[in-house]
Structure 1
């Protein structure tokens, strides 16, 4: 437990929401960013989680979020970069704009938040302070339909190494690389069966495994600069 809050970007749904709720259950103050208003936010606010709107698709939006974050808290225990956009490639006139948007969400936002958030992390009185990047299994193999997504997530994975070296020893910087963790609403059993077959563990585990991985990083004082794969052994297939 820490008096300084843990920031989770993109924390209104799916993996981010699960981790925010579990951290709050464990007694940690939590701040999340969110892109648009949704019903789930009221439930999170009811649990004492602070919610800050954020537009990471532009540098101005990122800097505006940082200003409001500093107004909300004078310190942070950890930053978890979960905000993401699983957008397919565009083959039209907007292909460049699509790539630039994913670059800003997956790379520029974490880059600027890490740089500007360093003072907030170092102001935390706890002996351990963390930054965790949520990357993706696809970084290892690329993607036929999500090349821009895969490339910008690979850039985030590389930023893990740079910031780990830059911020050591006071701040630990690591990454978690999930594969198929949970289904989307509307996915049918045929899709689920194909998804399960991609990993050696032959399962879709649910978001709890990401929280377990996050807790490991938040609780271990001697780990930095690593990417922790949470993919059910896909490389064995």
Structure 2
């Protein structure tokens, strides 16, 4: 097992947190980025997870995070780009700023981190390293209420192809495209039932399926440039 840590952006909650906790429990060193301080972070730190604050809403914030990441570790085993902003479209004067924020979080941050952290990935003590982009089911379907979100996630999906070609054979680059994986606090049973009906598997599986998908990509040494759908067969509906 590599002594170099795995970086998970947006690792303080939900899918990112689950994957960070599972990885550290499996013996992998982990670094996460987080947008704001929250009580859950202390539990992650007690587990030995390194936490770095990050503001991906500006280029300066992204570059500042990269500089602090390089000061924290000389190598990385993998990067999991999980940071995300599920923001609805704006019809007001702030529509452009809203799109720009989603572009920076979903595309510019992964793009710049991939470029500047290439040397960290190549400095690891395993023959191969990995980059995993967390995209979304709506990247191929579009969204009536989250057009900017869907478009920037589609851009991230395309970056998977470019970086896979660019970094082969030393670094594998893949993506995971989830659909409805877990509920939010406050979601009622009526909402849950509607969500379950959207997939052929008719279930809300929980974050474990994302960790299983991540482990598949990290453990398989002959997969690059692919997007792994984890959507319960929504395309069959």
TM-score (norm 1): 1.00
Shift of 1:140: 1.3
The equivalent residue for 1:35 is 35
Measured in 2, the distance between the counterparts of 1:197 and 1:210 equals: 20
Structure 1 unaligned segments of length 5 or more: list them: none
State the 4+ residue runs in structure 1 displaced beyond 3 angstroms.
none
The equivalent residue for 1:77 is 77
Measured in 2, the distance between the counterparts of 1:153 and 1:40 equals: 27
Count of aligned pairs? 237
Measured in 2, the distance between the counterparts of 1:139 and 1:112 equals: 21
The equivalent residue for 1:53 is 53
The equivalent residue for 2:135 is 135
The equivalent residue for 2:215 is 215
Structure 2 unaligned segments of length 5 or more: list them: none
Alignment root-mean-square deviation, CA: 0.3
Deviations 1:172-214 (A, max 9, x none): 0000000000000000000000000000000000000000000
Secondary structure, in 3 states, of the residue corresponding to 2:117? helix
Shift of 1:17: 0.1
Shift of 1:125: 1.3
1:180 equivalent to 2:180? Answer yes
Measured in 2, the distance between the counterparts of 1:235 and 1:68 equals: 41
TM-score (norm 2): 1.00
The equivalent residue for 2:192 is 192
Measured in 1, the distance between the counterparts of 2:128 and 2:50 equals: 22
Secondary structure, in 3 states, of the residue corresponding to 1:97? helix
The equivalent residue for 1:17 is 17
Measured in 1, the distance between the counterparts of 2:162 and 2:150 equals: 19
Measured in 1, the distance between the counterparts of 2:149 and 2:129 equals: 28
Measured in 2, the distance between the counterparts of 1:181 and 1:128 equals: 29
Measured in 1, the distance between the counterparts of 2:140 and 2:119 equals: 33
Shift of 1:128: 2.0
Measured in 2, the distance between the counterparts of 1:35 and 1:149 equals: 18
